[in-house]
Each structure stands twice: as C-alpha cells, then as structure tokens.
Amino acid sequence: MGGDDSGVASDNFDWNTEDELEIENYQSSCLTVPNGDAVTGSGDASSSAVLANSKVLDHFVGMGFSREMVSKVIQEYGEENEAKLLEELLTYTALESSPPPQTLIVTDPSSSGNAGSSWDDFSDTDIFSDEDMEKNISDSENDDTLRTLVKMGYKQEEALIAIERLGPNSSLDELVDFIGVAQIAKAEDALLPPEEKLQYNGYAKSNKRRFYECEVLGRKKPRGCEKKIINDDDEEALHLPNPMIGFGVPTESNFITLRRLPEDAIGPPYFYYENVALAPKGVWQTISRFLYDVEPEFVDSKFFCAAARKRGYIHNLPIQNRFPLLPLPPRTIHEAFPLTRKWWPSWDPRTKLNCLQTCIGSAKLTERIRKAVENYEGDPPDHAQKYVLDQCRKWNLVWVGRNKVAPLEPDEVETLLGFPRNHTRGGGISRTDRYKSLGNSFQIDTVAYHLSVLKEMYPNGINLLSLFSGIGGAEVALHRLGIPLKNVVSVEKSEVNRNIVRSWWEQTNQKGHLYDMEDVRELDADRLEQLMNTFGGFDLIVGGSPCNNLAGSNRVSRDGLEGKESSLFFDYFRILDLVKNMMSKCR
DNA sequence: TCGATTATGATTAACAGG
DNA sequence: CCTGTTAATCATAATCGA
C-alpha cells in the first residue's frame, strides 16, 4: 500500500500542493497569443514590397502576425535574428491590444499567502484529482500570453522561447509545461535534493492526468499497473523496459499486450513518431505529453537484426496481429557476416553489434588494436583484451583478418538496417554522407513490424505524410510490407537524402505521387489544406525528429529538446495536430 | 570547397556488491 | 537501501589534402 515514505505532509514542503494549485489556476483560463484577428493589417503592402519574398516574413505571418507589422519589424532589425524579431513582434502586439482586465488570480510562487481557500484539500486528493476540470472556462481571449507568463513569474526570455517553440496557438498550460521542463533541464541540483526535484518535475508534468493503461494477458504482468494508479507518482511511469521489447517483438513474444489509448490520441490519422530511447532525463515525458499522453514503446532493434538500436516510438496504431517482414534478417554477427567467423577471437564474446552511428572508427584506431594483439602467441593478456573489446564495442568493429579489425562498409550498414543494397549509393552522395544518412535512419524490420497492422486496413494503399524522411525509412518499410503508396508528402532538409528517396521511388515503379518538400517549418495550415484537398487527408503521419541534441554521442550540444535541431519535434507535433484537427472537422 | 580523417567525454541506466 | 562499476550512445568540430 502506498504509504512508503511519502510522509503525511507534516512538515513536508508543499511543492505539490502549491504547484497543483497554480496549475489549476493557470489552466482555468485558456489564453492565446493575439493572432488571427491581428491579421487584418489594413492591406497596406507599401512597406512590405521589398520583403515580399522573405521566408522569415512568411514564417511570422504564418504565426498570425500581420504582414504589415512583421515587415516593419524586419526592416528595423533585419531578418537574421528570429528570436529578436519575435520578441519585438510580441511587444508590439502587446502594446496594440488594450490591456485586458486581469481576470486571473495569479498566486506568487514564493508566497503561500492565499493558498487557503478552496484548494487546501488538494494534498489529500491530489492523487485522485482526475476531475480534469472543464478547462477553458473563463476563456478570456484577449489576454496576452506573454504578459501572463511574465506575471506568473517566468522570465520573459523563457516565455518567449516557449511561445516560439510551441507556436502562438498553444494553450497556456502547454507553455507552462514547456517552461517547467526547460527550467528543470537547466536547473542545477544544488538546491534540490533528489526527491523534491522529482516532485518539482512532477509539477511540470500534467494536470490532465496521464492515463496509461496496459494489461497483459498470459504470463507476466507488468508490475504495478493498478498499483501505479493508486500509488501514482507520475515519475516512474516512464521506465525503459528490460528487455527492451516494447509491446512485443516477433522473436520473444509469448504474451500479448493490450493497451487503451487516451481519447485524444485516437485517429485518424494514424501517427508514428520515433527518436532515441536514451535521451536526457525528462525528454520522453515531454514528448509523450505533447503526443496526447501516449505511452512510448521502447524497442531495441537487436531483436530484429544483428545490431542494437534502442529507440522510442510513440504511435496510435493497433498493436495486435503484427507480423514481421520476410525473410527474417540474420540476427547475429556471424550470420550477417559469415566471413568474420574465421578471424573472430574466442575471447570476443560479441554476438550483436552496437548501435550503428553516423561516424566510423578511424584507421589509426584499427592500427592501435592490431599492435595491441599481434605480439602474443596465444590469447592476449587481460588488459589488452579489455582495451580491444572496449574499442570494438565503442566503434562497432568486426574481425576481417588475423589481428585485424575494421569498421563496417556502407553497404553492410544498409543491409543491417534493412534497406535494399546500394540504396544510398551513387547519385552524388559521398561516402561520409552515406554513413551519416544511414546512421540517422530507421531500422526497417523494426518499423515495418509496427506498421504491419496497416496492411489489412488499407488494401488499396495509403496517403502518407513523412516528416524528416531522411533516406525514406518509412516509405521503404511500407513498400516492403506490400502497402501501396498512393500519395506521399515527404519533407526532408538534406538534398542528397531527397535525391535518394526520389531515386528509390522511381526504381521501384511506384504508382502513386511523391511530393518533395524541404523544411517542416514551411508546412503550414494553408499548405496542408492545399495538399489535403488534392487527395483528401492523410492516413499516416510518420516522423523521427532530429536526435542531434538528444543523442549520447554528442559531446558538444546535447541540449535536450530545446536544442537547435531537436526542437523541431515541436513542428512534428504542430503539423500532426493541424492535420488531426482538419481531419476531425471534415468528418 | 569538398570529402576524408581524426580526436573529442558526459549522461544515464543497469548492474554488482555491500 | 546504499555506493561504486560497467556499459552504451541516430555526433561535432577541427584539420588536412586534393
């Protein structure tokens, strides 16, 4: 039974209480940045003539600012610094809109003054506080979000970043969540002992109670399903499964997993999101919260092929009656590369490769390894073995000759990942870029297994929106499943990658249409509507947003979801949400 | 300028042993 | 429970040569 050390609030800090309280307060008013109504910029295009073709201008107009105002600001500050521009735009907007009557009761986080009213029994009930409040009650539409956030005690800079990332139409509690997570990411632990940090984290988590429900029929029950609901700390709701088999893999699933999706997550469209499993703390909580509180499915591709690939997938697909691609790929190093067997030392126990990354081991390193092992009659001493094994694991080296290790060739990586041979070869791509593109891609068998449920649902094919397409992992997976591709909108920044997908599309005699696009940020509501009108909606939206700032290999800029590239996740969410809304309207 | 080559740790989670 | 250890990790940036 719960209890544990959660103490009876005696002299506990009431982080929880207070935070919950604030959240509820914030939540009770759904504020939006002034948009829409400001668009009517009196059509005066005189000043914007020069900038008629500016991407930046379109960007901000797309966010809901008037063309007139945007061009004014751009002329004044240039279009280099978008953050600065946004700041100015928000300031101008705030000045223009008459200061609204402050209907909010904003409690100062540092004072517990007025916490005594109707909220004080929260500490008792807060675990059951699912009453999920009719949100958006006092819809004071003209309130300025930025102003409100600042009044709440957030720094203007933080608020601006949040608004920029989430877009002007995001709800206030999304913004607050974002800032909270950002703060935690930055906060040094100095002030907060672990437990309180967790609770603080939990604050940022959600008012809307996350509801993961999973049930296992058959053998094992995942520990504490119902316990979680009672004892619930939102904390450990996200843990990596061990073994990392998600909701099941073809090779070792002797039990069936059922899940119930949150209402908001149910399609159409179906969506499928992917990123690295070993992201910094809190990242997957945030991603999950944005993607309609769907529980991530963490899967290691080592259960599908000969290389590990620990990834998290968030999707709203059915998970029953999945089937794997055939033929099943080799699942050990020896099966995948039989020629290595002859040279494989008995003291190298590896049977699986580690994650295929974007860079390979250097020649110097393989030379050092050769020198470390070649001067011994029998097996090298322990320290040499350890050194060699560590490096081989780190750089995924295989034995290709006596005392000789080497990194994988690009076509070997292609094979391991499930792509057709030479998929990334030729057509103007360098070897270095090949490694990079492959290292950033899906493992086809893994993804195809998840997408296989679509086959019987769409015998006539699907319309696919593929964001961050890369070298077309989603397209290849669906094609190999035998699911016809009717219309594919593929958004990918890298030109060589777009060429690869285009080339594959033509080589495989696709009957459908492939639409290219370069930047997800240019995919706005208008563009989507235009596309969807031509072929009517999307059946599936796939995307693995950039992992640069999440991946452990990044020593320089592992900045989390706010990172320069990885923050494009919010564009995945933005676009998914747009399509979702458009499609629910059209029904 | 492009492509190839090389060196560059920190963050977590799992694990082992008290 | 605690603490130290092991292990894995969709990368960036500087440099060099053609």
* Selected catalytic residue, list A30, A305, A392, A547: A547
Residue A250 CA to chain centroid, in angstroms?
Answer: 25
Kindly indicate the confidence band of residue A169, based on its pLDDT and cuts at 50, 70 and 90: low
- Identify the bridge partners of residue A298 per DSSP, sorted by sequence position: A312
Position A193 in a domain: yes
Instruction: Give the CA radius of gyration of chain A.
Output: 26
A392 tagged catalytic = no
List, for residues A311-364, the tens digit of each pLDDT value: 999 999 999 999 999 999 999 999 999 999 999 999 999 999 999 999 999 999
Q: Which residues contact A327 (CB under 8 A, 6 or more apart)?
A: none
Does A35 or A492 have the greater pLDDT score?
A: A492
Q: Mean pLDDT across the stretch A407-430?
A: 97
Does nucleic acid strand C have an atom less than 7 angstroms from the CB of A551? yes
**A169 and A30, same structural domain?**
yes
**A438 and A376, same structural domain?**
no
Does nucleic acid strand B have an atom less than 7 angstroms from the CB of A516? no
**A221 and A200, same structural domain?**
no
**A81 and A229, same structural domain?**
no
Cα dihedral across residues A11, A15, A21, A22: positive or negative = positive
Tell me whether strands A485-491 and A462-467 are parallel, antiparallel or unpaired.
parallel
Q: Mean pLDDT across the stretch A444-457?
A: 98
Q: How far apart are CA A129 and CA A334, in angstroms?
A: 54
Q: Mean pLDDT across the stretch A288-315?
A: 98
Beta strands in A242-396 (DSSP E): 256-260, 270-276, 297-300, 310-315
Position A472 in a domain: yes
A207 CA – B5 C1', rounded, Å: 51
Cα angle: A292, vertex A295, A298; to 5 degrees:
135
The end-to-end CA distance of chain A, in Å, is 46
Contact by Cβ (8 Å): A515, A490: yes
Q: What is the DSSP string of A513-553?
A: EEEEES-GGG--HHHHHHHHHHH---SEEEEE---TTT-TT
Q: Which of A179-188, A397-406, A521-530 has the lowest mean pLDDT?
A: A179-188
**Is the pLDDT confidence value at A53 over 60?**
no
Structure confidence at residue A177 (pLDDT): 66
Dig out the tokens for A465 from the structure: 């929106």
Q: Mean pLDDT across the stretch A520-542?
A: 96
**A377 and A401, same structural domain?**
yes
Position A83 in a domain: yes
Position A465 in a domain: yes
**A474 and A456, same structural domain?**
yes
**A383 and A470, same structural domain?**
no
Q: Mean pLDDT across the stretch A277-281?
A: 97
Does nucleic acid strand C have an atom less than 7 angstroms from the CB of A275? yes
Dig out the tokens for A330 from the structure: 């080799």
Give chain A's domain count: 3
Position A231 in a domain: yes
Q: Which CATH number covers residue A315? A: 3.40.50.150
A427 CA – C5 C1', rounded, Å: 47
Chain A, 367-386: which CBs lie within 7 Å of strand B? Answer: none
Task: Tell me which residue range forms the domain holding A169.
Answer: 15-109+120-205
Nucleotide nearest to A543 (CA to C1'): C10
Kindly indicate the confidence band of residue A222, based on its pLDDT and cuts at 50, 70 and 90: very low
Does A57 or A49 have the greater pLDDT score?
A: A57
Count, in order, helices (H) and strands (E) of chain A: 21, 11
**Is the pLDDT confidence value at A176 over 50?**
yes
Nucleotide nearest to A552 (CA to C1'): C9
Please identify which residue in the block is written with the tokens 């997976």: A477
Does nucleic acid strand C have an atom less than 7 angstroms from the CB of A434? no
Does A579 or A138 have the greater pLDDT score?
A: A579
A209 CA – C6 C1', rounded, Å: 37
**A264 and A185, same structural domain?**
no
Does A172 or A550 have the greater pLDDT score?
A: A550
Nucleotide nearest to A355 (CA to C1'): C9
Which protein residue lies nearest to nucleotide B8, measured between its Cα and the C1' atom? A555
Position A154 in a domain: yes
Q: How far apart are CA A566 and CA A558, in angstroms?
A: 9
Q: Mean pLDDT across the stretch A384-404?
A: 97
Position A291 in a domain: yes
| Diameter over CA atoms, chain A | 86
**A489 and A354, same structural domain?**
no
Structure confidence at residue A300 (pLDDT): 98
Does A225 or A430 have the greater pLDDT score?
A: A430
Kindly indicate the confidence band of residue A126, based on its pLDDT and cuts at 50, 70 and 90: very low
Q: How far apart are CA A182 and CA A570, in angstroms?
A: 14
**A443 and A547, same structural domain?**
yes
Tell me whether strands A404-406 and A398-401 are parallel, antiparallel or unpaired.
antiparallel
Q: How far apart are CA A471 and CA A498, in angstroms?
A: 7
Which protein residue lies nearest to nucleotide B7, measured between its Cα and the C1' atom? A362
Structure confidence at residue A538 (pLDDT): 98
Which letter does DSSP use for residue A217 in this model?
Answer: E
Does nucleic acid strand C have an atom less than 7 angstroms from the CB of A359? yes
Cα dihedral across residues A553, A557, A561, A563: positive or negative = negative
Whether residue A243 has a cis bond before it, omega within 30° of 0: yes
A547 CA – C12 C1', rounded, Å: 13
**Is the pLDDT confidence value at A4 over 50?**
no
**A163 and A84, same structural domain?**
yes
Dig out the tokens for A215 from the structure: 């049930």
Position A422 in a domain: no
Does nucleic acid strand C have an atom less than 7 angstroms from the CB of A355? yes
Structure confidence at residue A255 (pLDDT): 67
**Is the pLDDT confidence value at A29 over 50?**
no
Picking from A180, A205, A230, the residue at the C-terminal end of a domain is A205
Q: Mean pLDDT across the stretch A147-172?
A: 63
Picking from A385, A417, A449, the residue at the C-terminal end of a domain is A417
Picking from A383, A417, A451, the residue at the C-terminal end of a domain is A417
* CB-count exposure of residue A139 (10 Å: 0-12, 13-18, 19+): middle
**Is the pLDDT confidence value at A489 over 70?**
yes
A275 CA – B11 C1', rounded, Å: 17
Structure confidence at residue A379 (pLDDT): 93
Structure confidence at residue A291 (pLDDT): 98
**A494 and A464, same structural domain?**
yes
